[in-house]
Amino acid sequence: MQKLEVSGANKLKGQINISGSKNASLPILAATLLSDKKVYLNNLPKVKDIETMINLLKSLGSITKFNKKNLIIDNYKQNKKFASYNLVKTMRAGILVLGPLLAKFGNAKVSLPGGCAIGTRPVDIHLKSLSKLGVKYKIIQGYVHATAPKGLIGSKIHFSKISVGATENLIIASTLAKGTTVLNNCAIEPEVKDLVNFLIKMGCNLKWVAKRSLKIVGVNQINETSYSVMFDRIEAGTYLIAAAVTEGNLKIKNVIPKIIQTEINILKKIGMKINTKKNEIHIIGNKKIKNINIKTSPYPGFPTDLQAQIMVLLCKGNKKSLIKEDIFENRFMHVAELNRMGAKISIKANKALVEGNTKFAAAELMATDLRASVSLILAALTTKGKSVINRIYHLDRGYENIEKKLKKVGAKIRRVN
């Protein structure tokens, strides 16, 4: 099992280039199943989850190969409809192949993803909404057996709860359905918008008709397509917080600042100096960190995927801060580890009360999920001693070259077996 050794307390200085978005790449990769033509995808991040999704596509019969810049996916022979548990269990977004397989073949057998450290992660909204397109499904031994005897038929669907994955699954499924589908109460995360832009490029007919409403008219022709995936806004937010927590001075490149305006505004309120250019954010940390209360919510609110990271920063605030986790039922797994480093964080239901003025102390730590692991790195970067972070396979699922990027801006970090 690999570990990370991290010794602070250098101020991070320099420039970090942001990679492509994991959470935009995953639904876009699933959507390539709709096509029987070649798809060229650029700017995919080299992270474990993307590798797993590509393996899942290959298990379904896709032919994939990397040339220097692009992943080329050819589905002219793709005809399998079975997504196995051993691939879907490690990467929950595997459920996103259900929509395209039903759209293309009218039947599919896809493993339920199961839960993870942050919650039970049900897919009831995906399944209930698909049944509105004429899908019949049964759950047998952990697999969804789904069929659409008359093919998918366009319909009007209102999501009972804002769900990124359910929105993405239904968008993809509706693109080949007969007639028109209107999806209401959609998630509007930038990654959902990136998926829509990709599908339009593939020749599908989609239009945002209101803030959270999308109209999709089924097509039966898909073009050969090339597409470059958007930047990873959670990676960008993570490095902004890394600069803030180490009183550093970082330039974050390959980003669209307005997409993370909520995060930028909050960091400014906490006391950071931030200037933005077209594709760059320049942040200068501040010794004095103000406290602030934060609630995670669907986009454009503060993202749950940055909750663990901002918690580390607020530990160094001048007063108490309250963080409310409104998206997942168990996303405070990082708190116990941060408290072992000297933080004083108490949890009551989905609220964490964070004492300020924490001086973190180095410790041996355990990562539990992707974003919790990176919050441990942030805390370790602020303290002189050497911390050791175990189970960093969580980290490798979603952060491309994190040690290299951090080392380049002055962090003392190395991976040991």
Interface with ligand EPZ (CB under 6 A), residue from 231, 302, 328, 399: 328
Q: Which stretch binds ligand EPZ (CB under 6 A): 74-82, 115-123, 178-186, 281-289?
A: 115-123
Catalytic residue among 116, 186, 204, 315, which?
Answer: 116
Does 371 sit near ligand EPZ (CB under 6 A)? yes
Q: Which stretch binds ligand EPZ (CB under 6 A): 156-164, 235-243, 284-292, 406-414?
A: 156-164
**CA–CA distance from 265 to each of 85, 272, 355, 356 (Å)?**
41, 9, 22, 20
Does 23 sit near ligand EPZ (CB under 6 A)? yes
315 is catalytic: no
Q: Which stretch binds ligand EPZ (CB under 6 A): 32-40, 61-69, 116-124, 333-341?
A: 116-124
Q: How far is CA 358 from the centre of its chain?
A: 29
Query: Which stretches of 144-301 are DSSP H helices?
Result: 164-174, 190-201, 233-245, 261-270
Sign, CA dihedral 4-396-369-88, equals negative
- Please classify residue 7 by burial: count the beta carbons closer than 10 Å to its beta carbon, then call 0-12 exposed, 13-18 middle and 19+ buried: middle
Sign, CA dihedral 8-12-16-19, equals positive
Question: Does residue 205 sit in helix, strand or coil?
Answer: strand
Q: Report which residue's Cβ sits closest to ligand EPZ.
A: 165
Query: Which residues between 85 and 114 bind ligand EPZ (CB under 6 A)?
Result: 93
From residue 272 to residue 291, what is the string marking binding to ligand EPZ with x (rule CB under 6 A)? Answer: --------------------
From residue 56 to residue 75, what is the string marking binding to ligand EPZ with x (rule CB under 6 A)? Answer: --------------------
Give the span between the Cα atoms of 58 and 54, in whole angstroms: 6
| DSSP codes joined into one string, 310-342 | HHHHHHTSSS-EEEE--S-TT--HHHHHHHHTT
Interface with ligand EPZ (CB under 6 A), residue from 29, 33, 60, 166: 166
Does 257 sit near ligand EPZ (CB under 6 A)? no
DSSP designation for 163: -
Does 115 sit near ligand EPZ (CB under 6 A)? no
Does 26 sit near ligand EPZ (CB under 6 A)? yes
What does the buried/exposed string (b/e) look like for 356-379 if buried means 16 or more CB atoms within 10 Å of the residue's CB? bebebebbebbbbbbbbbbbbbbb
User: What length does the chain have?
Assistant: 417
Q: Which stretch binds ligand EPZ (CB under 6 A): 56-64, 149-157, 159-167, 258-266?
A: 159-167
Interface with ligand EPZ (CB under 6 A), residue from 25, 43, 304, 387: 304
Interface with ligand EPZ (CB under 6 A), residue from 122, 142, 179, 301: 122
Give the residue numbers annotated as catalytic, written as ranges. 116
Q: Which residues bind ligand EPZ (CB under 6 A)?
A: 23, 26, 93, 119, 121-126, 161, 163-166, 187, 191, 304-305, 327-328, 370-371, 398
